[in-house]
Amino acid sequence: ALLVWFPGPHSFTGEDCAELHVHGGPAVVNGVLQALGRVPGLRPAEPGEFTLRAFRRGKLDLTAVEGLRDLIGAHTEAQRRQALRQMEGDLGRLYQRWSHALTQALAHLEAFIDFGEDEEVEEEVLGQGEELLPSLGLLSQIWGSGHKASPLAVTVRALERDIRAHLRDGRRGELLRGGVRAVIAGPPNVGKSSLLNLLCQRPAAIVSPQAGTTRDVLEVALDIGGYPLVLSDTAGLRRATDPVEREGVARARARLSQADLVLAVLDVTSVSPTGVALGAALAALEPPPGVPCVLVLNKADLLGGRGGAPSVAGPQGPPATLLSCKTGQGLQELLELLAQQLAQLCGDPLSGSPSLTHSRHSRHLGACAAALARVGRGDTGDTGDIGDLALAAEQLRVARRELGRITGHVGAEEVLDIIFRDFCVGK
């Protein structure tokens, strides 16, 4: 066996750690674990305990912990890249930068409120404002003058804009982490189940010439160009008389309303290849408004080689492609088209600002932005001044606390440390 020693604080958890590398199969590993279990003071680790120890010792924040968990569960290359970037701290550093700006603003503001009557302290505070907090400028302007915006108010508004822009990322990170939910929709007997089988390269769905074979929603997970796709095959959309088929159509409609991407399948031999006719056939499926759609014109083998994929409703219509689920003709073009759509929905995980990956991030960031929006906004809606200093300080505390809940860093000690470090109060 091989024993590897990791002395703290440079280990993963920050503690002294040792790893045993043993040879053989599961029986050897179980024998070693049983032997270790008989040593006094040793016990098996709880699920996630090593990561929890790393978090408690400051080796990881909560966003990095979530990134590590996502990395372990990653199924596609894009998921791996996004999780690795988050685990390495890109997202945490962005939130820490915002939190630091809020902490600085709050510390200076509270110092001015608490010690502003002391001339020596006030002089020191006002004299060091630009040096300590360049983004805010001199605290002497915190009161504002006429219609001139105070530097603190300008900074708060800028931070609010940055957070709201971060929230408006189209759920790219969440889609990449959980998989883009795509729904195959269309009339009965156009080849929806055949398309599912073709994409996953196995007979996952029952295929029959009889219309209305699919009654329930069938779901498979795919890797398309490195992006995760959760593909759902649904019942044919029509007015059904059979009670079971009616339930299948209702489930298809419900899944369609939740789709991130729609694969609308039509029989190319039963619809006119004009943009108007194809647009009407697509509209009859009632795809959710604003959801991207790919038009798949199936049964191309019956065309005898005639024509290509027409555009729907001109250049503004959704992309369309010809396909034959029977022969595989057009499969590569469809895969490339799907990869392009997924890349637009999920973005490049390695470029630009890191994306939101969890709904809890969105919830806390929304509360943070709402608190910043309340700073200095009275009945008149004026945003030029900071308003009541005590109320502004409270809203900054709320905003900072919400950011801290994302990373797991919540506390008042940082504010106190900055007050005493920067202003030497009580010196």
In 258-301, alpha helices (H)? 275-284
129, burial (CB in 10 Å: exposed 0-12, middle 13-18, buried 19+):
buried
Domain total in the chain: 3
Residues 275 and 182 in one domain: yes
Say what the pLDDT of residue 307 is. 56
Say what the pLDDT of residue 242 is. 84
Say what the pLDDT of residue 214 is. 74
Residues 98 and 66 in one domain: no
Please check whether residue 125 lies inside any domain of the structure: no
Residue 162 CB coordination number (10 Å): 17
Domain at 388, CATH number: 1.20.120.430
CA atoms within a 13 Å half-sphere pointing along the CA-CB vector of 357: 30
Residues 179 and 278 in one domain: yes
Domain that holds residue 386: 91-116+149-169+358-422
Domain at 185, CATH number: 3.40.50.300
In 38-89, alpha helices (H)? 49-56, 62-72, 77-87
Residues 292 and 333 in one domain: yes
Is residue 285 a contact partner of residue 264, using CB atoms and an 8 Å limit?
Answer: yes
Please check whether residue 427 lies inside any domain of the structure: no
Show which of 314, 346, 378 is a domain's final residue.
346
Q: Taking the model in full, what pTM does it have?
A: 0.79
Please check whether residue 184 lies inside any domain of the structure: yes
Say what the pLDDT of residue 379 is. 42
Say what the pLDDT of residue 343 is. 94
Say what the pLDDT of residue 311 is. 52
Of the candidates 280, 295, 270, the one whose C-alpha atom is nearest the C-alpha of residue 185 is: 295
Show which of 346, 370, 405 is a domain's final residue.
346
210, burial (CB in 10 Å: exposed 0-12, middle 13-18, buried 19+):
exposed
Say what the pLDDT of residue 316 is. 66
- 164-179 in b/e form (b: 16+ CB < 10 A) is bebeebebbbbbbbbb
Tokens of 36: 């270790």
In the chain (427 residues long), the average pLDDT of successive 10-residue segments reads 93 93 90 92 88 90 92 94 94 92 84 64 43 38 46 82 91 92 94 93 80 81 94 90 88 94 93 84 90 94 67 67 93 95 92 87 94 73 64 92 88 59 50
Residues 6+ away with beta carbon under 8 Å from 1: 20, 21, 22, 23, 32
